[in-house]
Amino acid sequence: MGTKSADIKPPGIPVWVYKIMTPRQWHDAQRLNDLYLILDQQDGFVHLSTASQLAGTLARYFSLEDSVVILRIATAALQPALKWEAPAPDRAQSGSFPHYYAELTTDAVQESWTVRRSSFARPLTLLDEAEADINSAVTG
Protein backbone atom coordinates (compact mmCIF):
# COMPACT_ATOMS: atom_id res chain seq x y z
CA MET A 1 0.00 0.00 0.00
CA GLY A 2 1.27 3.45 -0.83
CA THR A 3 1.20 6.78 0.86
CA LYS A 4 -1.85 8.46 -0.60
CA SER A 5 -1.21 11.93 0.84
CA ALA A 6 1.28 13.09 -1.77
CA ASP A 7 2.34 12.29 -5.26
CA ILE A 8 6.11 11.84 -4.88
CA LYS A 9 6.80 11.68 -8.59
CA PRO A 10 10.49 11.17 -9.36
CA PRO A 11 12.12 13.49 -11.86
CA GLY A 12 12.56 11.88 -15.25
CA ILE A 13 9.42 9.77 -15.36
CA PRO A 14 10.16 6.43 -17.04
CA VAL A 15 8.60 5.77 -20.43
CA TRP A 16 7.40 2.33 -19.31
CA VAL A 17 5.94 0.72 -16.20
CA TYR A 18 5.35 -2.97 -15.69
CA LYS A 19 2.65 -5.23 -14.26
CA ILE A 20 3.59 -8.72 -13.15
CA MET A 21 1.13 -11.62 -13.12
CA THR A 22 1.15 -15.37 -13.07
CA PRO A 23 0.34 -17.01 -16.42
CA ARG A 24 -3.09 -17.99 -15.03
CA GLN A 25 -3.78 -14.40 -13.94
CA TRP A 26 -2.75 -13.15 -17.40
CA HIS A 27 -5.05 -15.68 -19.07
CA ASP A 28 -7.94 -14.49 -16.86
CA ALA A 29 -7.05 -10.83 -17.43
CA GLN A 30 -7.19 -11.31 -21.18
CA ARG A 31 -10.53 -13.10 -20.94
CA LEU A 32 -12.00 -10.34 -18.72
CA ASN A 33 -10.09 -7.42 -20.30
CA ASP A 34 -9.10 -6.31 -16.77
CA LEU A 35 -5.62 -6.06 -15.22
CA TYR A 36 -6.78 -5.66 -11.60
CA LEU A 37 -5.58 -8.50 -9.36
CA ILE A 38 -7.09 -9.30 -5.96
CA LEU A 39 -4.32 -7.34 -4.18
CA ASP A 40 -5.00 -4.35 -6.44
CA GLN A 41 -8.71 -4.51 -5.61
CA GLN A 42 -7.93 -4.68 -1.87
CA ASP A 43 -5.54 -1.71 -2.01
CA GLY A 44 -7.67 0.38 -4.38
CA PHE A 45 -5.01 0.81 -7.08
CA VAL A 46 -3.03 -1.22 -9.59
CA HIS A 47 0.45 -2.08 -8.35
CA LEU A 48 3.06 -1.39 -11.02
CA SER A 49 6.86 -1.38 -11.11
CA THR A 50 9.55 0.49 -12.96
CA ALA A 51 12.21 -1.52 -14.78
CA SER A 52 14.60 -0.98 -11.85
CA GLN A 53 11.98 -2.27 -9.38
CA LEU A 54 11.09 -5.45 -11.27
CA ALA A 55 13.71 -7.70 -9.66
CA GLY A 56 12.65 -6.70 -6.13
CA THR A 57 8.96 -7.14 -6.92
CA LEU A 58 9.61 -10.57 -8.43
CA ALA A 59 11.65 -11.68 -5.40
CA ARG A 60 9.16 -10.37 -2.84
CA TYR A 61 5.84 -11.38 -4.32
CA PHE A 62 6.45 -14.04 -6.96
CA SER A 63 9.33 -16.12 -5.57
CA LEU A 64 7.23 -19.29 -5.39
CA GLU A 65 6.01 -19.07 -8.98
CA ASP A 66 7.66 -21.19 -11.69
CA SER A 67 7.00 -18.46 -14.24
CA VAL A 68 5.40 -15.03 -14.50
CA VAL A 69 4.21 -12.73 -17.24
CA ILE A 70 5.65 -9.22 -17.32
CA LEU A 71 3.43 -6.67 -19.04
CA ARG A 72 4.90 -3.45 -20.46
CA ILE A 73 2.64 -0.36 -20.30
CA ALA A 74 3.43 3.16 -21.52
CA THR A 75 3.28 5.72 -18.70
CA ALA A 76 1.87 8.32 -21.09
CA ALA A 77 -1.24 6.17 -21.53
CA LEU A 78 -1.83 6.13 -17.75
CA GLN A 79 -2.01 9.88 -17.12
CA PRO A 80 -3.42 11.49 -15.03
CA ALA A 81 -4.34 8.49 -12.84
CA LEU A 82 -0.74 7.29 -12.39
CA LYS A 83 0.64 8.34 -9.00
CA TRP A 84 4.12 7.89 -7.53
CA GLU A 85 3.91 6.87 -3.88
CA ALA A 86 6.11 5.63 -1.06
CA PRO A 87 5.79 1.98 -0.04
CA ALA A 88 3.99 1.09 3.18
CA PRO A 89 6.11 1.97 6.25
CA ASP A 90 6.39 -1.70 7.26
CA ARG A 91 8.29 -2.59 4.08
CA ALA A 92 12.07 -2.51 3.63
CA GLN A 93 11.70 -0.71 0.32
CA SER A 94 12.33 2.96 -0.27
CA GLY A 95 11.69 5.40 -3.08
CA SER A 96 8.51 5.86 -5.05
CA PHE A 97 6.38 3.26 -6.76
CA PRO A 98 3.90 3.69 -9.60
CA HIS A 99 0.28 3.12 -8.56
CA TYR A 100 -2.59 3.45 -11.02
CA TYR A 101 -5.98 4.71 -9.81
CA ALA A 102 -8.36 3.96 -12.68
CA GLU A 103 -9.66 1.10 -14.80
CA LEU A 104 -6.82 -0.73 -16.52
CA THR A 105 -7.62 -3.00 -19.43
CA THR A 106 -5.46 -5.29 -21.51
CA ASP A 107 -5.52 -2.68 -24.30
CA ALA A 108 -2.88 -0.76 -22.31
CA VAL A 109 -0.35 -3.60 -22.65
CA GLN A 110 2.26 -2.81 -25.31
CA GLU A 111 4.32 -5.98 -24.91
CA SER A 112 4.46 -9.05 -22.69
CA TRP A 113 7.05 -11.65 -21.77
CA THR A 114 6.81 -14.95 -19.93
CA VAL A 115 9.79 -15.31 -17.60
CA ARG A 116 10.96 -18.45 -15.77
CA ARG A 117 11.85 -18.28 -12.06
CA SER A 118 15.56 -18.87 -12.64
CA SER A 119 15.62 -15.52 -14.45
CA PHE A 120 14.66 -13.55 -11.35
CA ALA A 121 16.24 -15.35 -8.39
CA ARG A 122 18.56 -12.96 -6.50
CA PRO A 123 19.13 -12.25 -2.78
CA LEU A 124 16.49 -9.80 -1.52
CA THR A 125 19.10 -7.70 0.33
CA LEU A 126 20.93 -7.01 -2.93
CA LEU A 127 17.69 -6.09 -4.64
CA ASP A 128 16.79 -3.65 -1.83
CA GLU A 129 20.21 -2.03 -2.16
CA ALA A 130 19.83 -1.74 -5.94
CA GLU A 131 16.40 -0.12 -5.58
CA ALA A 132 17.71 2.32 -2.98
CA ASP A 133 20.69 3.26 -5.16
CA ILE A 134 18.47 3.84 -8.21
CA ASN A 135 15.83 5.74 -6.25
CA SER A 136 18.41 8.00 -4.61
CA ALA A 137 19.94 8.72 -8.02
CA VAL A 138 16.50 9.61 -9.40
CA THR A 139 15.34 11.70 -6.43
CA GLY A 140 18.76 12.99 -5.34
How many distinct structural domains can be found in the chain?
1
Residue 118 lies in a domain: yes
In a domain, 8, yes or no: no
User: Stretch 44-53: mean pLDDT, rounded?
Assistant: 93
Task: Determine if the peptide bond prior to 80 is cis (ω within 30°).
Answer: yes
Rounded distance, CA 3 to CA 8, Å?
9
Read off the pLDDT of each residue in 22-31 and give the average, rounded to a whole number. 97
Taking the C-alpha atoms of residue 53 and residue 95, their distance in angstroms, rounded to an integer, is 10
The structure's pTM equals 0.78
Tell me, yes or no, whether 3 lies in a domain.
Answer: no
In Å, how far are 16, 105, 128 from 73, measured between CA atoms?
6, 11, 24
- With a CB cutoff of 8 Å and minimum separation 6, the contacts of 38 are none
